[in-house]
Structure 1
Amino acid sequence: MITAAPSRIQPPPARPAARWQALWREAVRDPRELLALLGLNAETVGLDEAAAAQFALRVPRGFVARMRHGDPADPLLRQVLPVTEEMRVVPGFGLDAVGDAAARTANGVIQKYRGRALLIATGSCAVHCRYCFRRHFPYAEETAAREGWREAVTAIAADASIEEVLLSGGDPLSLATPKLAELTDALAAIPHLKRLRIHSRLPVVLPERVDAELTAWLAALPWPVAFVIHANHANEFDADVDAAMARLRAAGAQLLNQAVLLRGVNDDVDTLAALSERSFAAGVLPYYLHQLDRVAGVAHYEVDDARARALHAELAARLSGYLVPKLVREIQGDTGKRPL
């Protein structure tokens, strides 16, 4: 046997996985394991295997650690556990609740409002929120990252009215930082862009994602950055989340929180007030309180508009104005989020 001569050029060593990526891989994906960790049983909480098969469970273990042991009504658990109510067919709840398909202008590009374009950066998330309005979105065909972002960046460059790009998903921070840098390097060549907005739940559910590599990327961006996190309950914050928010602020990002009004999670004024106060204590300004997007499988979370308005009025009477998020709904065809 003749052995091959050793190559003169050795391949670079494999890049070691970041800590956040290792934690991502360790996320809980089995609903029964999640319940066992919390000392609960399937019958008590209404676990539904068919709902789990339709929309898989995924939740980081650090987020699980913030749930109350033995409490089937824990507000964090209710956001992630697949239950029988998801399988009900309810009139008015469809697959595309906010008209994403109709607003598509290029592969992975959604443009609903003047001056702004949203990029579906990825279909991946570190946590699968059961009320997700894109739980039926065709991510396999519709992500801006295909072909090195080429089609998406070309479409934005061709429209001089676009001044702000929103990175969404999925969750854009699911992408490794070099992949994010690849996108923003391409966007930086577009002269009419003035702002970047990032929507991400990862700093809350997996705060380790906000590492030195990510903050260095953020600090080097050529635009002002609005970073919109997503927390629905004060219990989602802990010392690790606070530290992640501090790192984002130190990198120059303006932090905002958007929440969704969810029955059984945050539909009382004490809980909403605690959320606003806790997010502000972490350096995050309350921004939006969304009425639920009516996607199939989430009707059991809905709070009716009259109740939502009453809660918002109570919140405004209790808190300083800057702590009161705007109560809004997204309606297909509107020029912006509709205040309620």
Structure 2
Amino acid sequence: MFVGVHRGIIKRDSQERRPIGQRLAAIITQFNLILQIFDVIPIQNATETHWSTELAQAIKSPAELWPLLGLTEQDLPAAHKAMASFKMLVPRPFVSRMEFGNVNDPLLKQVLADDIEMLPVAGYSKDPLDEGNHNPQKAIVHKYERRILVITTGTCAVNCRYCFRRHFPYGDNQLAQKEWDSVIDYLKDHPEVNEVILSGGDPLMLKDSQLSQHIARLNDLPQLKRLRIHSRLPVVIPSRINDELLAWVSQSRLDVVLVLHSNHAHEIDQSIADKVALLKRAGVTVLNQGVLLRGVNDSVEAQVNLSEALFAAGILPYYMFTFDPIEGGAHFDISIEAAQQLMGQVAQKLPGYLMPKLAKEIPGEPAKTVLAPRL
């Protein structure tokens, strides 16, 4: 079997009897190298596990997680009450990037339930961004003049303990496929809107067939210029970026922007970089927004390493938000002053294009508030 050419000499595969999956993967890899020369989108590795399978295999309890990380029940905080309030959900590809035996691993701390979440803290609420007062109809959040956010689903691939929508009334905002007429009608009634943001939950939890239909309808609205997708799924399950997704994003007439959510450099590995390359080849702009979290990324080293890792993977740092005071997340918060001082030190170590904008979303304001780093 011939599998490649090197310096004009045809190479013969010396392992004719390899499993068919390995042989097919080798053929696809070499074919993709040829495709890259002609600047077309490579096909996906046929041996890759489907993202829905990886989602189904996600960790749903601390007892499942402990042995994978070499930890015991005694190492981890009590979490029965917190788990009852907000369940644990962690995909295995994300777990694989956690440090074995480290109870303070920054990725683990983002997803590990802790009964401290149940303690009442003044100033922290179930709706810190006042989205309830900007929810004019089912599944639409309209806070800013020229863009709307569509709640596509209430589900995510990972339950982040600091999530500002962990108490969002998704039950009142579930949008059935046939109800997308209401979104289109709302846009027609608001011709000033030129950008739609798909959010949730995580919009990439929807099937590609569903997303393709939604995007086709948005494409037909001449007022729209951009489609933005906010998603953490490609970070925690990179296989979500598949041929079907690449097809509908590349076929859209809209400028497609994918805003990923990553908070620490250890979340970014080669599997993500490979998928980002495919997205960019399909014409997608890929950005990242993170959240400043105590004990996770509230150090100069963590912030510098995150920006460097993102850029190396083809992702541009966009926003670093201060913590939204969500009920149950107070232990992640750091003060505005500390955030400004931290980012001032980070600014001394990074070029301007790698500096995410430090920002805070203040309810009722017509735009996000950008905070100046303190040098």
Q: Normalising by structure 1, what TM-score?
A: 0.93
In structure 2, give the amino acid aligned to 1:314. Answer: Q
Tell me which amino acid in the other structure corresponds to 1:160: P
* 2:129 partner letter: V
Q: Could you tell me how far apart the structure 2 residues matched to 1:43 and 1:87 are?
A: 20
Q: Pick from 127, 151, 167: which aligns with 1:96?
A: 127
Are residues 1:197 and 2:218 paired?
no
Largest Rg, 1 or 2: 2
Identity of aligned residues (%): 44
- How far residue 35 of structure 1 moved from its aligned partner, in angstroms, is 1.8
Q: Deviations over 1:174-231 (max 9, x none)?
A: 0010110111112122111111111000110000000011011110011111110010
Matched, 1:228 2:259: yes
1:1-340 equivalence runs, <5 A: 19-145=50-176, 147-340=178-371
Correspondence for 1:8? none
In the alignment, the residues of structure 2 paired with residue 63 and residue 47 of structure 1 have an alpha-carbon distance, to the nearest angstrom, of 22
In the alignment, the residues of structure 1 paired with residue 78 and residue 50 of structure 2 have an alpha-carbon distance, to the nearest angstrom, of 31
Q: Distance in 1 between matches of 2:217 and 2:252?
A: 12
Report the more deviating stretch, 30-39 or 221-230: 30-39
| RMSD, aligned α-carbons | 1.3
Using the TM superposition, give the Cα deviation of residue 144 of structure 1 relative to its aligned residue in structure 2, in angstroms.
3.7
Q: Decide whether the 8 Å contact of 1:144 with 1:151 is kept in 2.
A: no
Give per-residue Cα distances to partners, 1:297-331, cap 9 Å, x unaligned. Answer: 00000011111000110111111000000001111
- Structure 1: segments with no counterpart, 5+ residues: 1-17
Specify the alignment match of 1:15 in structure 2: none
- Equivalents in 2 of 1:226, 1:194: separation in Å? 11
> 2:177–2:210: 8 Å Cα contact kept in structure 1?
no
CA distance in 2, matches of 1:148, 1:193: 20
Contact 2:270-2:313 at 8 Å conserved across structures: no
Task: Provide the secondary structure at the position in 2 that maps to 1:111.
Answer: strand
What number of residue pairs does the alignment pair up?
324
CA shift for structure 1 position 148 = 3.5
Report the alpha carbon displacement of residue 146 of structure 1 after superposing the two structures with TM.
Answer: 5.3
Deviates more, 1:236-245 or 1:256-265: 236-245
Question: Does structure 2 conserve the Cα–Cα contact (< 8 Å) formed by 1:67 and 1:77?
Answer: yes
